[in-house]
Amino acid sequence: MQDLLGKHIVLGLTGGIACYKSAELCRLFVKAGATVQVVMTEAATQFMTPVTMQALSGRPVYVSQWDVREDNNMPHINLSREADAIVLAPCSADFIARLAEGRSDELLSLMCLARPIEQVPLLIAPAMNREMWAHPATQRNLQQVAADGATMLGVGSGWQACGETGDGRMLEPAQLLEDITAFFHAKLLVGQQVLVTAGPTFEALDPIRGITNHSSGKMGFAIARAAREAGAEVTLIAGPVHLPTPRGVRRIDVLSALEMLEAAEREAARASVFVATAAVADWRPASHSDQKIKKDGSGLPPVLNFVENPDILATVARSPRAASGALFCVGFAAESENLAAHAKAKRERKGIPLLVGNIGPLTFGQDDNSLLLVDADGVRELPRAPKLQLARELIAEIAARLPTRTSA
């Protein structure tokens, strides 16, 4: 998806080994539809050549304030006025100190100082040794730069080029892309606490086998990401899936329907929106064998008894908070036929304001989906599209239906 289509980003590189990540970040920006203008400090050119960044961005790289390509000799003005955002990645401890002091003795810092603060946001991805990151001077400078209007993108933790381990690594390019994409989205859910369930459940027969389904969790994870992009505080209760947690989302892993119910009831106590996308198993074995159930040579299968799992969505929807309107509940229905009829009946049965229907075999494990929105006014289809695009459309629908809506 070209999430940054139409955006013009000035990508600033300062001196640090993390410049090698900036090449991939530039490529991801371009792939996402943005145009990228690279500006480098002299120190940055010791770690990454301007030729590499020019090849990836498709534009000549700027290093000097005295670049003769600018007719008016004012690249610090011209480049900053064209930008939708200035992204400093990596941003060294020295450059953060420069920003805090308002120094402007080379092109990149001069451009940051000259940018129209209200029109051109400054996003900073710090990168440095763990001791430099933890130093009081650095933390003091970060606070000052943030107070002056910059947005901090945070740091990663782990092995560093110096051989030490800790905080201070520049975030990975894919993480930065996700954070910067979220930055540009309208904050329709600021102040909202969104709870999402996603993926299948697994109902164990014995230590080896169990009952589950083909749900990949992709739709629920996309909704969690879209809600976070919209400014919400998001908690994601995930069944057994192998998906990375969306940036900024709190994740709770569960296995069975009973575990998911316990987590959902607990977390719903403070949520304002509940989106139940999980494909919860309708039944579970009445008993669980402590050892693997083996063949006995008779040729007959074992006799298995089942009990119905609790209805998580209906349970939460019947809670006092949902009944009072403090919790807006959204359900999902995965059907194999007669989607509209089944979805309408399910919404009535669950007693919820909005139900989202889809055809299970056409969505499980897929990157695309189509949705049917069912409410008291009728049915509306969201045509097949990438799940993240649909998730963003659904979040906008939810935001518009909330009793009080906070917009960007």
- The catalytic residues are 162
String of DSSP letters for 328-383: EEEEEEEESS-HHHHHHHHHHHHT-SEEEEEEHHHHTT-SEEEEEEEETTEEEEEE
Between CA 206 and CA 120 the distance in angstroms is 58
C-beta contacts of 264-268 below 8 A and 24+ residues apart: 264/195, 264/197, 264/237, 264/312, 264/315, 264/316, 265/315, 265/316, 265/319, 267/195, 267/235, 267/237, 268/195, 268/316, 268/319, 268/321, 268/322, 268/327
CB-based contacts of 108: which residues, under 8 Å, 6+ apart?
A: 12, 14, 39, 40, 41, 88, 95
Between CA 195 and CA 274 the distance in angstroms is 5
**Greatest CA separation found in the chain?**
91
Backbone phi and psi for residue 326, each to the nearest 5 degrees, phi listed first: -75, -20
Determine the 3-state secondary structure of 122 from DSSP. strand
Distances (CA, A) of 333 to 341, 349, 391: 11, 12, 15
Determine the 3-state secondary structure of 219 from DSSP. helix
Between CA 85 and CA 97 the distance in angstroms is 20
Tokens of 367: 């990157």
Report the b/e string of 343-362 with b at 16+ CB within 10 A. bbebbeebebbbbbbbbeee
String of DSSP letters for 292-303: -----SSSPPPP
Contact 260, 197 (CB under 8 A): yes
Between CA 29 and CA 180 the distance in angstroms is 10
